[in-house]
Every structure is written in C-alpha cells, then in structure tokens.
Structure 1
Amino acid sequence: MEGLKNKVVVLAGAGGLATATARFLGGGGAAIVVSDVVEASAEATLQVARDAGGEGIAMVVDISDEDQVKSQTDRAMKEYGRIDGLFNVAANIHPDEVAKDTNAVDIDLAAWQRTIDVNLTGYLLTLKHALPHMIASGGGSVVNTLSGAAYAGMADKVAYSVTKAGVGALTRHVARKYGKDGIRANGVAPGLVLTEQTKLNLPEDFRDMILTGTPAPRHGKPQDIGATVAFLLSDLSEWITGQILSVDGGTTMRA
C-alpha cells in the first residue's frame, strides 16, 4: 500500500486484526512497534510484518499500566526517533472476565473495572504518551478499534459496549483537539470477523445467525480490517479524520 514507506507505527495489541494490519504495514515499508500481554503473540505479529518486507520490535505491554505504555513509546523513540501512527486494538478478552460482563444489574464490578481499564483507559494512556511525539514530528494518524456494540444497545456485555462507545468519543476528541497539530484520529468498528480465536469461540450456528442479518454474503476476514486500518494510517487518507468506519458487511448503516 502507498503512503506507508518509512513510517513508524505503534501497535497496541497483537494477533488477529493487528497481525492482518501488520502484513499491510510491512508490505508498505513501515516499521512497527507491537505489544501484547502475550509475548508470543507480539512476536508472531512482528514476524508477519517482517515477512512482508517491514521491520520492527515486539514487546510485552499491558496497556492498562501507564509505566508499561510509556516504555513502549520510549522504545519506539529510542529505536526510530519518531512515531507516525498509532493503532489501538488491544482488548480485555480474559474468558473469566468476559463471562462476567453481563448487564447493569448483575455485572461483577471487578470485571467491569478491568474492561474499562484495558478497553478505554488503556487507549487514553497510549494517546497520552504517543501524541506529544507525533505532534513534535509534524503529525500522524491514530486508529482506534470500536465495535458495532457501540451503537447497537446490546442486552449483555454492558462493560464492553460502554467502553467501545467511549472510544468513539475519545477518537472524536483527539481529532477535534489536535487536528491543527497535524493529528488525524479515526476508528474502525468491525463486524463479525473470522479470526482464529472467533472460529474457536463462536459456534457455527451462531455465526450463521449473524450472517442472516448481514447484507454482505460472507463474514469478515482479518484482511478486511487490516486493509482499512493500513489505509487510515497511510498518507492516502490524509483528509479523513474524526470518522468511525463500520467494516461489517453493511450490518451497521449510519448516515
């Protein structure tokens, strides 16, 4: 993809959608600084970027921990001297906590807090530490990961839904506040994407039910999201900011 050569992009989160994005970034000649709470996942995502022609660094980072977030930003600056892009894709996917994310009456408050700490506060922390460097080097692009849950009003997963709606507001704040500093901020809201984890966790009959309500004839593939994120991180999208793109086969249609 054009408009990525020699850019330095921080990926907060690995595996799945991040790996698909890394393939496009590496193929475009970008360097990535990728992190995850699982070292093997960060390393695997980095290797995909390298195989595509890019380079980078892999780190273990929990984005709910400010010191760890700062260490990723500092490492990017030490190795490359600049940050041109930030892709926030990390999420709280711990099975025990996901199972406890129920509804406003019954939710386990520890699960609520952990989801907020990772899915929302974590995104704020990456922005807090990356934006000053991005502004100092003339600007750059931020892409945050949302979900159709930000709009749909889910009957369960209240913490997840609330954090994704909050990420939308955070994205627009950054676009509005720092636009004159050369910062663009956008979001992607994926539909049901058949990552390896999704295939393991979601029964086929449930996937079929979702597809019935999707205008497109198939579920999403990781590369659908990866291509969109890479485009938003590239110079090809330099007049797009403050937008949330629903990449979901038409499930969400908003004016």
Structure 2
Amino acid sequence: MRGLKGKVGVIAGGARGIGAATAERLCAEGAKVIIGDIMGDMAVETAKAIEKSGGIVIGTYLDGTDAQSQKDIVARAVKEFGGLDFFHSNLAGGTVGDDDALGITEEVFDKSVAINTKSHLLASQAAIPAMLKRGGGAMIYTSSGAASAGAPVQPAYAMTKTAIHALARHVAAKWGPSGIRANVICPGLIMTEAVAIYLDEERLAGIQAETPSHRLGQPKDIAAAVAFLASDDGEFVNGQAWHVNGGKQMRE
C-alpha cells in the first residue's frame, strides 16, 4: 500500500482474530502499531510474535468501554511513536443472552451498547484530536453484516453495530474537511478462533456453498481492507461502509 510506511496506528481489539491479522499486515506494510485488548497478556504475546518478524509493535491492555483507557492508549502511541495516523476500532461482543427482542434483559442490552457502540465513540473522542494534530488520519470501525441482515436472534448486536455507521458518517462529515477519514468495515463470516469453535463442518460447508466467492472468509481478508483504508491509497474513501463477505450479502 502507498503511504503506510512509518505511519502510527492503534488497533483496539487486536489480541487475536481480525485484530491480530490486521496488526500483522500493517506492520508488514511498515506501520508502527499499538495493539490494545481487554486480554492484555494476549495482546503482548501477539505483539511479540509480530516483532519477531520485524514489526514495530507494542501490545498493551485496553478496556474499550472506559474513556480513560482509550485516552491512555492514544497517549501511548504519541509517546512511543510521535503521533497517531489511524485508529482501527475493532471491538465487538456481548452476544450472550441476546436472544430476541422480547426476551433480552436490560443488562444484556446495556452490555452490548457498551461494547459495540460506546467503545467506538470513546475511541473517536480519544483518537481524533491526536490525528488532527498530524493534519488528518483514518478512523476505521469494525461493524458487521448483521447491521444490514435481518435475523431472528441477536437484535441488540445488530442494533448496536448499525449505530457505528451513523457515527462514521458523522465523523466523516464533521472532520473530513480537516483531513479525517472515517469508514466502516462489515465482515461476513470470518474464520477466527472465536467463530470456529461454534460451527461444525456441515454448517461451514453450507455457508461456503452459498458464498459466491466459494470460500470461507479469513482474518487476512479484513486486514487487507483495513490496510487500504489506513493507507494513502484510501485517501478519497470517506463515510463508507464496506461489506467484506465474499458476496454472501450484496449491498450498495
């Protein structure tokens, strides 16, 4: 990618899966990366593994639902690497008990809001001022295909992921003239460690057969999209939602 070498970025939710693959890809492109995750020890381990391949990367603890923790990881990027050029807000979760609109409890709903919506707002509040000091940068949010595909389960997850799209469009409209890009990536089924344990071979074969690209998604597929949006090659993409799903769900 053009213009990633030497850039500084944070990956929130980068200890494993999509975030880890993204950190590896961005480091391979020459970026300097801070990996933050609620699983701080795993974030450190992931960073050490990438470092062995020559990447410039630091792993640390991050509670994405806490404003101070978000501010701290941005401050760490500025202190260690001199500034901030992109922030990949990749947090997701809170699906346990998210059964249907009649059965979901307020506690489950509030947890989903905190993880899947609030964390992205807090990331924006922490990162945008630092990027403005550099003359611009890229906010890249991870949403989900669930935001636009109706399902009989997990209404809170779909609702809270949809909210990220409105946030990205707001950030693009408000700070686009100041050099900030804000885009959303909506992964389809991606074969992360967390996903693989829930699906048997028969179900996976069925999903693959229904996917026009005729294979299952991998974390590297999302990493490639993030790398483009963070790079200078993506400088004219702003306020968009990209569905990266092999054609399983086709959107304008």
* Comparing 44-53 and 165-174, the one that deviates more: 44-53
Tell me the secondary structure at the aligned position of residue 227 of structure 2: helix
CA distance in structure 2 between the partners assigned to 1:193 and 1:107 by the alignment: 26
TM-score, structure 2 as length reference: 0.95
CA distance in structure 2 between the partners assigned to 1:51 and 1:143 by the alignment: 26
Matched, 1:184 2:185: no
CA distance in structure 2 between the partners assigned to 1:175 and 1:52 by the alignment: 35
Residue in structure 2 matched with residue 7 of structure 1 by the alignment: 7
CA distance in structure 2 between the partners assigned to 1:180 and 1:77 by the alignment: 23
CA distance in structure 2 between the partners assigned to 1:40 and 1:206 by the alignment: 33
Residue in structure 2 matched with residue 142 of structure 1 by the alignment: 139
CA contact (8 A) 1:29 1:53 kept: no
Tell me the secondary structure at the aligned position of residue 238 of structure 2: coil
CA contact (8 A) 1:22 1:48 kept: no
Tell me the secondary structure at the aligned position of residue 211 of structure 2: coil
CA distance in structure 1 between the partners assigned to 2:251 and 2:198 by the alignment: 29
CA contact (8 A) 2:97 2:104 kept: yes
Residue in structure 1 matched with residue 86 of structure 2 by the alignment: 85
CA distance in structure 2 between the partners assigned to 1:197 and 1:147 by the alignment: 15
Structure 2 stretches lacking a partner, 5+ long: none
Residue in structure 2 matched with residue 102 of structure 1 by the alignment: 99
CA contact (8 A) 1:23 1:52 kept: no
Q: 1:125 to 1:63 in 2, by over 3 A?
A: same
Residue in structure 1 matched with residue 170 of structure 2 by the alignment: 173
Tell me the secondary structure at the aligned position of residue 95 of structure 2: helix
CA distance in structure 1 between the partners assigned to 2:195 and 2:179 by the alignment: 36
CA distance in structure 1 between the partners assigned to 2:170 and 2:53 by the alignment: 34
Residue in structure 2 matched with residue 152 of structure 1 by the alignment: 149
- Aligned partner of 1:221 among 197, 215, 218: 218
TM-score, structure 1 as length reference: 0.94
The Cα of 1:224 is off from its aligned counterpart by 0.8
Q: How much identity, in percent, do the aligned residues show?
A: 39
CA contact (8 A) 2:22 2:227 kept: yes
Tell me the secondary structure at the aligned position of residue 148 of structure 2: helix
CA contact (8 A) 1:24 1:49 kept: no
Structure 1 stretches lacking a partner, 5+ long: none
Q: Deviations over 1:9-38 (max 9, x none)?
A: 011112100111111111111111111011
The Cα of 1:47 is off from its aligned counterpart by 2.8
| TM alignment of 1:213-252, pairs within 5 A | 213-252=210-249
Q: 1:49 to 1:238 in 2, by over 3 A?
A: farther
Instruction: Please provide the CA RMSD for this pair.
Output: 1.4
| TM alignment of 1:1-150, pairs within 5 A | 1-14=1-14, 15-92=16-93, 97-150=94-147
What is the count of residue pairs matched by the alignment? 251
The Cα of 1:240 is off from its aligned counterpart by 0.8
